[in-house]
Amino acid sequence: MNEDAALGRLRACWPGAAPRIALLLGSGWGGLTRLLSDARCLPYAELPGFPGAGVAGHAGELWLGRLGPRPVAVLSGRRHAYEDGSAGGMKLALRTLRDLGVQVLVQTNAAGSLDPALPPGSLMLASDHLNLAQRSPLVGEGGSERFVDMVDAYDPGLRALARAHAARRGLTLHEGVYAWVLGPQFETPAEIRMLQALGARAVGMSSVPETIVARWLGLRVLSLSLLTNLAAGLSDDRLSHAHTLAQAEAAAATAGELLADIVQAMAL
């Protein structure tokens, strides 16, 4: 099986204490790997069953290393549902890491702001999500475990920890509902007005499928969005992926340092 082969490759590459935390890095967050020590990098192509990287800003690499003293696994890049129509692109990778010993998934993404009070450069914790695409990575799975309870999908204890560390750094960490849309096209102004009416504060094209997989696997989840732009109709800016990456990279250093603080403080 691909999962067994990938797991064996990871264990051979990292013979020390198994990581209990995995980080999944979205657009603009790849620089976090520079904070790792004692690091080993494996391209997804060397791990059977792992996805290919098909989007700029997603390196397609798995890093094993340490943030401070804590061993972590870092997935630099994800497979998006808009690339091939499947919501399960990261399922084997996350299951492999769970079997390696991971208990917590920390997700990051770049997202559009639906709230003028969250300007570009803001950070937002996901308190909940809207699966607007109405797709699930669990389609085709058997057994009662596929009926996953999604209440508190974003762990309240981990969110409190994140807020505390942001406060210590003097950073404003917003919180709100993240809306997942399939993409790859950006939303229309009418769609943005609909999402605002539904109570979302940020919109993006990722993260929700991985949260569903993680909860199915029994992992705790924390998700942070770096807001790179005001969504369609809320400003005069023209939206593009290049603009998203540029805005994310401008705020990435501060965001990465906060994320490293949070991970090192997790009690596992």
150 vs 158: CA distance, rounded Å: 16
Looking at residue 134, the DSSP 8-state letter turns out to be -
Instruction: Check 6, 58, 93, 249 and give the catalytic one.
Output: 58
266: annotated active-site residue: no
145 vs 138: CA distance, rounded Å: 10
Q: Are 82 and 184 in contact (CB under 8 A)?
A: yes
Instruction: Check 22, 53, 80, 249 and give the catalytic one.
Output: 80
58: annotated active-site residue: yes
Cα 168 to Cα 22, 62, 165, 173, 261: the distances in Å are 24, 30, 5, 11, 10
207: annotated active-site residue: no
Instruction: Check 162, 229, 248, 252 and give the catalytic one.
Output: 229
Cα 63 to Cα 97, 183, 268: the distances in Å are 12, 28, 20
Name the token pair of 146: 């596929």
Instruction: Check 205, 214, 248, 255 and give the catalytic one.
Output: 205
Instruction: Check 206, 207, 223, 225 and give the catalytic one.
Output: 206
Instruction: Check 3, 131, 241, 250 and give the catalytic one.
Output: 241
CA-CA-CA-CA torsion sign (61, 66, 67, 71): positive
206: annotated active-site residue: yes
Instruction: Check 3, 59, 82, 141 and give the catalytic one.
Output: 82
Instruction: Check 6, 73, 90, 110 and give the catalytic one.
Output: 110
Instruction: Check 3, 18, 39, 83 and give the catalytic one.
Output: 83
27: annotated active-site residue: yes
205: annotated active-site residue: yes
Kind of pairing between the strands at 70-76 and 173-180: unpaired
109: annotated active-site residue: no
Q: Are 229 and 240 in contact (CB under 8 A)?
A: no
Chain-centre distance for alpha carbon 167: 22
Which residues are known to be catalytic? 27, 58, 80, 82-83, 110, 205-206, 229, 241
